[in-house]
Amino acid sequence: MTPSETPRLTSLSHGGGCGCKIAPDVLARLLQGTVPDGDFPDLLVGNQGADDAAVHRLNDDQALIATTDFFMPIVDEPHDFGRIAAANALSDIYAMGGAPIMALALVGMPLQQLPDATISAILAGGSAVCAQAGIPVAGGHSIDSVEPIYGLAAMGIAHPDHIKRNDGAHAGDVLILSKGLGVGVLSAALKQNALSDDAYRGLLDSTTQLNRAGSRLAQLDGVHAMTDVTGFGLLGHALELCRSAGLAARLRFDDLPWLPKVRALAAAGHVTGASGRNWAACRDEVALDANLPADAQALVTDPQTSGGLLIACSPDAADEVLALLHTSGCSLATRIGQLKAGAARIHLA
C-alpha cells in the first residue's frame, strides 16, 4: 500500500476521540446493577459513582489507581493520534491525585486497510507520551478490528489521604478549569478540511499536554475534588461532580477559556453530534440564561478529548491552585464558577 493509497485515519471511524463515548444517560442505564457484590474494604473507589478511576488501598501509605481509556482517531497523523490517546488515558490517574507508574497498550487495527508503518507510528506516539510521563508501556493486547482503536490501561500510585473523589467538593468551593475548551469543534473542522495549521497546532498542544499538575494539586489541603473534562463536555462532567457532592453550581460563560479559533468555527457550524447527545443527557439539570450566545449550548456540551482538570477548591486556595497550574504550563487555567448548597443543578449565566 503506497502513502497515496493510505486512507485518512478519521475516515475509518464513525466518531473520533472522546466523542465516541456512550452518552452519559445511556451509560447510566447500562451500568445499572453492576456494582460489585461482596465486601471489599480496600476498594476505596469503584463504579458506584462517576469518578475517573478505580482505587485499591495497598497499605496505609499507598493506594493503587487503575483506569483504562481508548478511542478511534481524532486526527489523521498517526503519531499525533497515539500521543493524544495516551495523554487522555493518563489524565484519569492525575485527576484522582495520583502519579502514573505503568501502562498497557490497547490496540485494535484494520490490518487490511492500514500499512504497518501507520500502526507502528500510532504505537510510537503513545510510547513517547508515556516516556514523557516517566513510565513504560509494559505490554498490552491487540486485535484486528474494523475501525482503528488505540488507548491504554494505566496504573498509578497515590497516598490514600490524597485521593480526590468527586464527592469531596464543598459548598462555596471555587471551580477552576486548567485547559481551554473546544476540542470537539476543532476535530469536527479537521474532519471537514476546515482547520487551519495554527488551529491544529493549538489542538495538538492542548490534547498532548499531560495533566500532571493533578498529583501536586491533590496534596493541597484546599483542593477538595477533581475530575477531568472529556467526552461528556464541561456540563456533563461538572454535573457528575455536583451529583456526587450533592451541590449546585453557577458557571460564567464569559469566563470559560477557549482554544484558538473555536468560537469562529462553532459559529460556522463545526460542531459534533456528541454535543447534542450530551445536552439531551443533562438538560433537565441545567438552566441557561436567555442572553447567552446562540451556540453556547453546543459549546458547553462539546466533547473534549484529553481535556483539562476541573478543580473544586476553597476560595482561599484558588490563587495557589492557579499559580501551580500556570507554572505547570496551563496558561489558560482560570476560575469558571462556584459551587453552592442545593440540589444537583447547573446555572450557566
Residues 154, 11 share a domain? yes
Residues 147, 65 share a domain? yes
Closest CA relative to residue 298, chosen from 184, 215, 193, 129? 184
* pLDDT top residue among 117 and 20: 117
pLDDT tens for 2-11 read 555 789 998 8
Residues 223, 143 share a domain? no
Residues 88, 72 share a domain? yes
pLDDT at 24: 65
Closest CA relative to residue 212, chosen from 97, 50, 313, 89? 97
Residues 332, 250 share a domain? yes
pLDDT at residue 271 greater than cutoff 70: yes
How far apart (Å, rounded) are the C-alpha atoms in residues 9 and 139? 24
pLDDT tens for 219-257 read 999 999 999 999 999 999 999 999 999 999 999 999 999
Find the CATH number of the domain harbouring 222.
Answer: 3.90.650.10
pLDDT grade for 20, boundaries at 50, 70 and 90: low
Number of H helices, E strands in the chain: 11, 13
Q: What is the pTM of this model?
A: 0.93
pLDDT grade for 292, boundaries at 50, 70 and 90: very high
- Give the residue-averaged pLDDT of 159-183: 97
Residue 313, helix vs strand vs coil? strand
DSSP string, 20-38: GSPPHHHHHHHTTT-SPPS
CB-CB contact of 203 with 186 (8 Å): yes
pLDDT at 16: 62
**Residue 253 lies in domain:** 165-348
How far apart (Å, rounded) are the C-alpha atoms in residues 88 and 149? 14
Domains identified in the chain, total number: 2
- Give the residue-averaged pLDDT of 308-319: 98
User: If 0-12 CB within 10 Å is exposed, 13-18 middle and 19+ buried, where does residue 347 land?
Assistant: middle
Residues 330, 217 share a domain? yes
pLDDT grade for 29, boundaries at 50, 70 and 90: confident
pLDDT at 49: 74
pLDDT at 13: 78
Residues 98, 43 share a domain? yes
Give the contacts of 111 (CB within 8 A, at least 6 positions apart): 119, 144
Residues 241, 135 share a domain? no
Residues 169, 155 share a domain? no
pLDDT tens for 59-96 read 999 999 999 999 999 999 999 999 999 999 999 999 99
pLDDT at 231: 94
Residues 153, 183 share a domain? no
Give the residue carrying C-alpha cell 460542531.
Answer: 271
pLDDT at 32: 73
CB-CB contact of 18 with 304 (8 Å): yes
The answer to whether 18 is a known catalytic residue is: yes
How far apart (Å, rounded) are the C-alpha atoms in residues 31 and 199? 37
Point out the least confidently predicted range of 15-24, 180-189, 243-252.
15-24
Find the CATH number of the domain harbouring 132.
Answer: 3.30.1330.10
Distances (CA, A) of 168 to 62, 85, 135, 247, 283: 19, 28, 29, 11, 24
Give the residue carrying C-alpha cell 468555527.
Answer: 265
Bridge-based pairing of strands 346-348 and 247-251 is parallel
* Catalytic entry in 18, 242, 313, 330: 18
